[in-house]
Amino acid sequence: MADTVLFEFLHTEMVAELWAHDPDPGPGVSVGSRGEEAGATTGQKMSLSVLEGMGFRVGQALGERLPRETLAFREELDVLKFLCKDLWVAVFQKQMDSLRTNHQGTYVLQDNSFPLLLPMASGLQYLEEAPKFLAFTCGLLRGALCTLGIESVVTASVAALPVCKFQVVIPKS
Amino acid sequence: MADTVLFEFLHTEMVAELWAHDPDPGPGVSVGSRGEEAGATTGQKMSLSVLEGMGFRVGQALGERLPRETLAFREELDVLKFLCKDLWVAVFQKQMDSLRTNHQGTYVLQDNSFPLLLPMASGLQYLEEAPKFLAFTCGLLRGALCTLGIESVVTASVAALPVCKFQVVIPKS
């Protein structure tokens, strides 16, 4: 029971903590200890990037613990299906709701009730708060893909809470 | 499987992240964005306190999800036993190895192979690195106790990895 929610509680604290350390510095405040130059926007971008990086490394580590048969994946699409099913269940105890692709390296993974957004009210009210709850998971997907040998760019968008779309773009080499 | 290790991976990243942001500032570097005055020691104390605070809030939140019958605890010792058994299993998938008390409000909880220290080599080699892997859990215990109506001071000590003792002191009111 509790270990299911433990990840979500810890994620919430982590987001809050990173945001608390990047307040809007008043005028005259110079370069902070993190190297951000000035302004809340830069600090927030930094926090998003930190969260994404943490997600990436956790995704890599999880990827390394995947069952060996996953190494036999030949098709990109199989790998993506695996993330939508097995990885999502392992992390969020549910499967991704849909997976679409243009068959040219772009995949859209949709979760209709993304667990990390559920604590927020539904609808449009807190939409601008959403990005900070998505960065870690974007990194998680990118990290797991990396362990499976696929370089990618992962972004997320929310049109209405708690529905979330993750876009995975795999550049053709 | 993966959700068991997810907490541990995320905890590792969180510790690394907080430490990365508190490097030893060179001479001439003044007050950082977190308000630390100077020196790695102050920054590290700050990070420990941040980790402890995150643990506290997660412990409080977990405490609120405990089964209702736990609210019927009358004796302090029952509450401590509950932490050693149910809380520890929920978070670390194992029970605490021993619980001792002087019957005057001091309790020593010993875990002979504390999971968050296991990734480190055993013995004395990395002993000085241990405190940063204990702060979150000290907070977790304090937070869970707080939700159960008990104010406490929780500290941890390591004599040889991965054995860890948590000392809970409950001031008499």
Domains and CATH numbers, chain B: 65-172 (3.30.1380.20)
Residue A33: which of B3, B32, B90 has the nearest Cβ?
B32
Residue in this structure with the two tokens 């979150």, named with its chain if needed: B136
Exposed e or buried b per residue across B35-53, where buried means at least 16 C-beta atoms within 10 angstroms of its C-beta: ebeeeeebbbebbbebbbb
Residue in B106, B13, B129 with CA at minimum distance from that of residue A54: B13
Q: Which positions ≥6 away from B24 have C-beta within 8 Å?
A: B39, B40, B43
Across the beta sheet with B153-157, the strand order is: B98-101, B106-111, B164-169, B153-157
Q: Which residue has the higher pLDDT, A26 or B7?
A: B7
End-to-end CA distance of chain B: 44
Determine if residue A93 is left, alpha or beta; phi over 0 gives left, psi from -120 to 50 gives alpha, anything else beta. left
pLDDT in tens, B52-93: 999 999 999 988 886 656 556 678 898 999 899 989 988 998
- Residue B134, pLDDT above cutoff 70: yes
Spans of chain A, pLDDT less than 70: 1-4, 21-41, 66-73, 123-124
Q: Give the residue on B whose Cα is nearest the Cα of A50.
A: B17
What's residue A80's pLDDT? 93
pLDDT in tens, B115-127: 999 888 776 678 8
Query: Is the Cα dihedral B108, B134, B35, A129 positive or negative?
Result: negative
**8 Å CB contact of A6 and B58:** yes
- Residue B3, pLDDT above cutoff 60: no
Cβ-Cβ contacts under 8 Å, B11 against chain A:
10
Where does chain A show beta strands of DSSP type E?
98-101, 106-111, 153-157, 164-169
**8 Å CB contact of B2 and A87:** yes
Structure tokens at A132: 């900070």
**8 Å CB contact of A6 and B36:** no
Cβ-Cβ contacts under 8 Å, A29 against chain B:
33
Distance CA B88, CA A15 (A): 24
Q: Are B123 and B147 in contact (CB under 8 A)?
A: no
Cβ-Cβ contacts under 8 Å, B115 against chain A:
none
Cβ-Cβ contacts under 8 Å, A91 against chain B:
2-3, 6
What's residue B29's pLDDT? 33
Helices B2-20/A2-20 angle, 10° precision: 20
What's residue B135's pLDDT? 95
- Residue B34, pLDDT above cutoff 90: no
What's residue B72's pLDDT? 67
- Residue B101, pLDDT above cutoff 50: yes
